[in-house]
Amino acid sequence: MKWGLRALLVFSGLVLAIPAWAAGQSAHDETYINLFGGSTFFDASSGLAGGGNAGVVGLRLGHRVDAHVGVEAQVAAAFAQLQSPAHASAANQYSGAVLGNLYAFDSPDTPYLSLGLGASSNLFNNQLGRGTSLMGVFGVGYQYLLNDQIGLRLGVQDQLLFSAPTPSSANLNDVQVTGGISYFWGGSKKSSFPVVGPAHP
């Protein structure tokens, strides 16, 4: 999973290097809901019997409190088999987190960086049963507005599960690659391109 972490670090550096003065019209004071789906990839070196790579779906509720800062709550369910396939029906991963978002542009169309904390509920094996681990989240992505209320969002999150009872490591990386659709209300969400009025004689 080292390649995934390197890619995240490189992309986050590019996001933070983009000058904020290139932004357009203000996009703060937005509240939104985001439905997303994608794939989750657990660290291959963890020694998990089922591998863990599977689909994920979830929901985010957030608010952009300033031109470059936002906060959101995220819940998700990953259909991962972290132990033997015979018990796969009970092996899904459930997680929740509170995230802070840093937007590169003062605009509705912008790359962003996410940092947060949460918890992840997993069934690693039948002897231990289902347990909950503290989870740190680091993510990058891009959001794009289609019209005044509807937008698209792509993102990659590295979720680090602390003190997970895995065979080879107490800390487990879970990378989630997702895409989704957002509904916005409130705030200024227009295009960053200026509108030029008709010339007057």
Query: Splitting the chain (201 residues) into consecutive groups of 10 residues, what average pLDDT does each group show?
Result: 49 44 51 95 65 84 93 91 57 90 92 96 70 93 92 95 75 91 74 46 57
Q: Which two three-digit tokens encode residue 178?
A: 């997702």
Q: Which residues contact 127 (CB under 8 A, 6 or more apart)?
A: none
Residue 29 lies in a domain: no
Count up the domains in the chain and report the number. Answer: 1
Q: Residue 41's domain spans which residues? A: 2-15+35-185
Would you say 78 and 39 are in contact if contact means Cβ atoms under 8 Å apart?
no
Residue 197 lies in a domain: no
> Terminal CA-to-CA distance of the chain, rounded, Å?
64
CA dihedral defined by 136, 141, 145, 149, rounded to 10 degrees?
Answer: -10
Q: What confidence score (pLDDT) does residue 24 get?
A: 39
Q: How far apart are CA 40 and CA 37, in angstroms?
A: 10
List the CATH number of the domain containing 57. 2.40.160.20
Residue 156 lies in a domain: yes
